[in-house]
Structures are given as C-alpha cells and as structure tokens.
Amino acid sequence: MDERNFTFMFYGLAAAWAILAAYVVYLGAREGKIRRQLENLRRMLEERDKT
Amino acid sequence: MGTRNKLIYLLAALGGLLVIRNLYVILLQFPDEAAQGAIYRIMFFHVPCWFICFTAFLAAGVASILYLWKRRMVFDNVAVSAVEIGVVFTATGLVTGSIWARVIWGIWWTWDPRLTWAFITLLVYLGYLMLRRAIDDPTERAKNSAVLCIFAFVSVVITYKAIDWWRTQHPGAVLSFRTGGGNIEPAWEMMLLWNFLALGLIAAAVLLIRLNQEQVRREVDGLRRRVHEL
C-alpha cells in the first residue's frame, strides 16, 4: 500500500472504532449500574416486606 | 441464555466476521486511489456510518409515531435505543469525514450545508436524549420525546438532500441508486454495501443490548415508585 496519506487513513479508521468501542464500554458500565440499582431496590422491598 | 441474547451474539459475531473480511479486502486488495492515495479508504466506513444513522433515525421516527398511536412503551424503548445508536454513528460519520477533509480539502471543518446540517442533526438528537433526562414521569417523557423525535427527522431529510439542494464543498451523490450509475467504481460501491451490512449487524446487536437495558430501567423505575409508596 502507498504510504501517502496512510497515517490519516489509520487515524480515521482508529477514530471510527474508538467511538464505537467507547459506546460499547459505556453501555457495559450502564448495564452494571442498572443491575446494581435493580438488586438494591429488590433487597429494599424484601426487607420492608419482612418488617 | 435467552433467545434475545443468542440473537445478540449471533448478530455481533456475523458483523464482526464480515468487518474482518471487509477490512482485508479494503486494506490489502483494493489499490490506492490515483488522486487521494490511501485516505479514500475512509469512505468505506464514513458512508455506511451515515446509512446507519439515517436508518436508525428513521426507525426512531416510525417507533415514535407508533408510540403516539398505540401508547405502548415498547415503541418508546425502540425510539430511544435507535436514537442513541444514531447519535453514535452520526458522531463517527462526522469525525471520519473531518479526518478525510483534512487531507483532501486541507481543513478539518467548513460550514458547508451538508456538514452544517449533519452537525445540527447531531445536536437535535442530543437534545432529544437530554429532554428525556429532564422529564421524570415516564408517560410524559415518552409523549414529549416522541413528538420531538418526529419533528427531528426533518433535519435528517435536509441532511440527506443537502448535497442535491446546495452544491458547495461536499461532493455530490455518487451511489447508483441516486445517480443511475457511473459515478463510482462498482467494486467500491459493492464494498460500501457490504460494510453497511457488517456495521448494520453490529448496530442491530447493540440496539438489542440497549433495548434490554431500557426494559430493565423501566423495571427499576417501577420498583422505585413502589419503594416511595411504602
């Protein structure tokens, strides 16, 4: 492959995948947060039901 | 593992394999373009990103209309998930376009109508996501954001047609379905469609993940209301 403009092509492809990867990581983090909230709320309700 | 999770893995695996195959062809089999050198290969990601964001915003608009008609929360879930994915691909399209422009036009950005409307579209849909955060009541949130989502699609249509209505810096349409053919190498056009399929499969997998999250979030909202009632 011609070296001409190769660096910018690499930056472009890297940026595209970096944005998508960052979004997937963000989704994963949010998934964990929502699951923790769900567990906490369920536990709170169970404890209140017991008392 | 549930059916939806199996489908997510299947779509992601198919999309991933297809991307690897496409990258092999794009990077190692396609020759450099005579005027642009290697940089033209950004096109194979830049253009499909726009296909996907337009499709995602269209899906969100249709889901919003269906929500206002049927008043079923599942349509609101689809709308917000599709908008979020559309925003990610719009940002990707803008960034890849900007890097391409730096080499070809010598500038990172210009207030060309196509670029400007693409940026406005990004801002409008970011506004949609911010509006959702500002409204606590789920029904009010779904209703108001559905109305905004339908109006926001006007910006998508203007972005799409900008290269026909205003001939300035951004190149005009090159794909056969818009020009009748002859404006792009057939192998490149086919690769654009293959990469649209590959990225589309990945986007569909992410959409399903996002839909799962939205359903769990609604469950969290419901439990929260019960906790407050007690």
**Would you state the pLDDT for residue A20?**
95
Overall number of domains in chain A: 1
Q: What's the pLDDT tens digit per position in B190-199?
A: 999 999 999 9
Q: What's the pLDDT tens digit per position in B16-71?
A: 999 999 999 999 999 988 888 899 999 999 999 999 999 999 999 999 999 999 99
B219 in contact with A at a CB cutoff of 8 Å? yes
Q: Which of A19, A37, A48 sits opposite B230 (nearest CB)?
A: A48
**Would you state the pLDDT for residue A31?**
92
Inter-chain contact B226–A45, Cβ cutoff 8 Å?
Answer: yes
Q: Which of A2, A34, A45 sits opposite B227 (nearest CB)?
A: A45
Strand runs labelled E in A1-51: none
Residue A2 has pLDDT above 70, yes or no: no
Q: In chain A, what residues touch B227 (CB-CB under 8 Å)?
A: 41, 44-45, 48
Domain limits at A43?
Answer: 19-51
**Would you state the pLDDT for residue B116?**
96
**Would you state the pLDDT for residue B105?**
92
A2 in contact with B at a CB cutoff of 8 Å? yes
Compute the mean pLDDT over every residue in chain A, rounded to the nearest whole number: 89
A29 in contact with B at a CB cutoff of 8 Å? no
- Give the start-to-end residue ranges of the domains of chain B: 3-29+38-225
Residue A8 domain-assigned (yes or no): no
B226 in contact with A at a CB cutoff of 8 Å? yes
